[in-house]
């Protein structure tokens, strides 16, 4: 009986699709599963789709206050700022997920009580890593269509608390030391050497004077380049040559198994 059917609640925080669109997706998902089995549960929307970061966070906070937290929460990274001159900005992690995580911690909760899933056009492995390190459960790009996303959501809902891992990389792994890994977020941002050195000194990642720190950064970049070139040479691909290639080296490192939180998502 439909009346006895379990409703799995899904809060949607994104501004690409409206509430009616999500209702249609949930209905088609139920119909697809009905063709294969006799489902005893279905996804239902938890309130209206929230288009702004403020609206999404407030909805999560209300659910916590009412002790009626949604089973799943879908969050886009690009959300509306709200207000008269509303714009779309990368706010999902900084203005929705992390504030909600912090509120949960303040209330003595060991984890976020709803499984949060990133579904965003802005998806990168770095963003996905930042998302799960901030309390999220899984992450997908918009290249995953809605019907496939819903299939994934069922698996996520039924798991204990599986999380996204950086698995989409090309062997062999680029093996790097902790010091070399520490430089990668700065190389990814393509900052000048003196700025990398200055930032790493402030962050306590380098305990040297400015000149010594710059030499240290250049040496780590050279070490990463040399290790990358060994992989390239083994496959007869063009090598990195010269002292530049900061962002390209970082991209290569990620493509070969390394992951980090991008500078823009550091707490």
pLDDT reported for residue 3: 52
Where is pLDDT greater, at 242 or 262?
A: 262
Backbone angles phi, psi at 203, to 5 degrees: -80, -5
Mean pLDDT of the chain: 95
As a whole number of angstroms, the distance between CA 44 and CA 48 comes to 11
**The two three-digit tokens of residue 64, written as one number:** 């916590």
The dihedral of CA 102, 106, 112, 116: what is its sign? negative
Task: Say which residues have a Cβ less than 8 Å from residue 238's Cβ, sequence separation at least 6.
Answer: 232
pLDDT reported for residue 2: 47
pLDDT tens, residue by residue, 194-229: 999 999 999 999 999 999 999 999 999 999 999 999
Neighbours of 247 (CB within 10 A): 13
pLDDT tens, residue by residue, 235-258: 999 999 877 789 999 999 999 999
What does CATH list as the number for 2-158? Answer: 3.40.50.2300
As a whole number of angstroms, the distance between CA 99 and CA 140 comes to 21
CA distances from 216 to 198, 213, 222, 243, 245 (A): 12, 5, 10, 13, 17
- The residue with tokens 């891992």 is 165
| Of 122, 64, 65, 71, nearest in space to 94 by CA | 122
Does residue 183 contact residue 263 with C-beta atoms inside 8 Å?
no
Neighbours of 31 (CB within 10 A): 11
As a whole number of angstroms, the distance between CA 94 and CA 26 comes to 28
Does residue 104 contact residue 112 with C-beta atoms inside 8 Å?
yes
Q: State the pairing for strand pair 115-120/78-80.
A: unpaired
As a whole number of angstroms, the distance between CA 144 and CA 121 comes to 10
pLDDT tens, residue by residue, 53-82: 999 999 999 999 999 999 999 999 999 998
Domain ranges within the chain, ordered by starting residue:
2-158, 178-265
As a whole number of angstroms, the distance between CA 76 and CA 116 comes to 10
User: What is the pTM assigned to this prediction?
Assistant: 0.94
């Amino acid at each position: 009986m439909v009346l006895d059917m379990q409703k799995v609640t899904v809060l949607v925080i994104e501004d690409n699709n409206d509430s009616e669109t999500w209702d249609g997706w949930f209905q088609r998902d139920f119909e697809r599963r009905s063709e294969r089995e006799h489902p005893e549960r279905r996804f239902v929307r938890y309130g209206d789709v929230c288009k702004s970061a403020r609206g999404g966070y407030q909805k999560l906070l209300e659910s916590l206050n009412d002790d009626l937290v949604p089973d799943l929460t879908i969050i886009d990274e690009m959300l509306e700022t709200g207000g008269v001159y509303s714009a779309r900005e990368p706010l999902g992690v900084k203005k929705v997920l992390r504030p909600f995580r912090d509120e949960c911690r303040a209330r003595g909760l060991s984890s976020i009580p709803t499984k949060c899933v990133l579904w965003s056009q802005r998806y990168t492995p770095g963003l996905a890593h930042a998302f799960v390190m901030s309390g999220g459960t899984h992450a997908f790009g918009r290249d995953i269509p809605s019907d496939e996303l819903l299939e994934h959501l069922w698996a996520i809902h039924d798991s204990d608390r599986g999380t996204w891992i950086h698995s989409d990389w090309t062997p062999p792994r680029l093996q790097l030391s902790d010091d070399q890994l520490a430089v990668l977020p700065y190389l990814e941002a393509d900052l000048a050497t003196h700025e990398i050195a200055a930032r790493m000194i402030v962050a306590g990642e380098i305990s040297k004077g400015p000149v010594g720190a710059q030499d240290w950064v250049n040496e780590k970049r050279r070490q990463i380049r040399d290790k990358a070139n060994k992989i390239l040479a083994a496959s007869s691909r063009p090598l990195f040559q010269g002292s530049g290639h900061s962002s390209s080296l970082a991209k290569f490192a990620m493509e070969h198994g390394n992951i980090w939180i991008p500078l823009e998502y550091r707490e």
